[in-house]
Amino acid sequence: MIKNDLFLRALKGETVERPPVWMMRQAGRYLPEFMEIKAKYDFFTRCQTPELASEITVQPIRRYGMDAAILFSDILVIPQAMAIDVEMKPNFGPYLPAPIRSQKDVDRVIVPDIQDTLGYVMDAIAMTKEKLNDDIPLIGFAGSPWTILCYCVQGQGSKNFDLAKGFCFTQPKAAHQLLQKITDTTIAYLKAKVKAGVNAVQVFDSWGGMLSPTDYQEFSFQYIQQIIDALKEQVPVIVFGKGCWFALGDMAKSGASALGVDWTCSPKNARYLSGGNITLQGNFDPSRLLSPPAEIKRMVHDMIRAFGKDRYVVNLGHGILPNIPIANAGAFVEAVKEFKE
């Protein structure tokens, strides 16, 4: 039994004394204890070494006591498992030396055996669960198939993912085959994570907002829907689509337990667009954590009142930034724990 099940209760839509809180990217780059590990090990070594990944996962919990932990990993372990070379270059980000650009490239992509290729993630889950000792739930995650395709085709990060979109629009057959392979791999991966012990999963559609509403349905959401359908009976599924306010209505009918909201959509609009009956998660602007702690606390309380304390998980509208002072991150979490109606 999870001792603090506030997060899981909020995902079920139960009445809670206060909303739960965690932060996207809470395990990582703003913490001095993480930077000590980063100085010794490169990025994918940290992801692929269960002892390191589990330690990084629990660091913010020790410091701040969030209501959920999220496993330290990366969305790009999926293409790596699919025989697509992915590097993480310092001060640059993801780099794929041989991006997918043709049908022939797609044909070479495999749907792997998850235990063979990503068993280290399951080992990290087991170690993390031991460290958490059932105090709080553990979240597993994956990127959406569209977001993974963006990196696989573009070959790196981008402001507009023009090459990825061009691939989908000029070679739709190959694009859909690649999306299906990513989807099949992601479903197997998340199911393995559930078996290993995660208590909820989140699908990050970081680049969904790059697509028009029509293209979003075709190239992104129909694949996310497959993931929800495959997992929803086993575990709560959270879907976070950055810039995807236009899809909140469809997402709310998908069978997901909760929807992430970014900071460009007001709580009132998010409730309206999603129909008002699903748990929402978000949506504090990560840059606002640069405000003074007292102001952060006031704004967090205003945000909770705007969303309402029930069917709500307090979070950021995207991942925490590396330059956030640790006291400010603490003020964010404390504000939620201090909240009273």
Question: How many other C-beta atoms can be found within 10 angstroms of the C-beta atom of residue 104?
Answer: 9
Angle between helix axes 222-231 and 145-154 (nearest 10 degrees) is: 130
103 part of a folded domain? yes
State the average pLDDT over residues 71-83: 98
26 part of a folded domain? no
- Report pLDDT digits (tens) over 56-74: 999 999 999 999 999 999 9
14 part of a folded domain? no
320 part of a folded domain? no
176 annotated as belonging to a binding site for a ligand: no
Residues in a beta bridge with 312: 280
Would you say the pTM of this structure is higher than 0.85? yes
311 part of a folded domain? no
- Report pLDDT digits (tens) over 117-175: 999 999 999 999 999 999 999 999 999 999 999 999 999 999 999 999 999 999 999 99
- Report pLDDT digits (tens) over 291-329: 999 999 999 999 999 999 999 999 999 999 999 999 999
What is residue 86's predicted lDDT score, i.e. its pLDDT?
A: 97
101 annotated as belonging to a binding site for a ligand: no
Instruction: Give the rounded percent of residues in the chain with a pLDDT score beyond 70.
Output: 100
123 annotated as belonging to a binding site for a ligand: no
Task: Give the pLDDT band of residue 91 (cuts 50, 70, 90).
Answer: confident
What b/e sequence results for 309-320 when a residue is b if at least 16 CB atoms lie within 10 Å of its CB, and e otherwise?
A: bebbbbbbbbbb
What is residue 296's predicted lDDT score, i.e. its pLDDT?
A: 98
Number of structural domains, the chain?
A: 1
- Report pLDDT digits (tens) over 28-48: 999 999 999 999 999 999 999
319 part of a folded domain? no
93 annotated as belonging to a binding site for a ligand: no
26 annotated as belonging to a binding site for a ligand: yes
144 annotated as belonging to a binding site for a ligand: no
What is residue 13's predicted lDDT score, i.e. its pLDDT?
A: 97
28 annotated as belonging to a binding site for a ligand: yes
Query: How far, in Å, CA of 254 to CA of 266, rounded?
Result: 22
Containing 203, the helix (H) or strand (E) segment is strand 200-205
* 119: its two tokens: 């068993």
Q: Flag whether pLDDT at 341 surpasses 90.
A: no
10 part of a folded domain? no
- Are 182 and 142 spatial neighbours (Cβ–Cβ below 8 Å)? no
In this structure, what CATH number is given to the domain that contains residue 193? 3.20.20.210
44 annotated as belonging to a binding site for a ligand: yes
Range of the domain at 276: 32-284
Query: How far, in Å, CA of 136 to CA of 199, rounded?
Result: 9
318 annotated as belonging to a binding site for a ligand: yes
- Report pLDDT digits (tens) over 161-208: 999 999 999 999 999 999 999 999 999 999 999 999 999 999 999 999
What is residue 8's predicted lDDT score, i.e. its pLDDT?
A: 98
Cβ neighbours of residue 237 under 8 Å, at least 6 residues apart? Answer: 200, 201, 202, 203, 227, 228, 231, 255, 256, 257
25 annotated as belonging to a binding site for a ligand: yes
295 part of a folded domain? no
The mean pLDDT of the chain is: 98
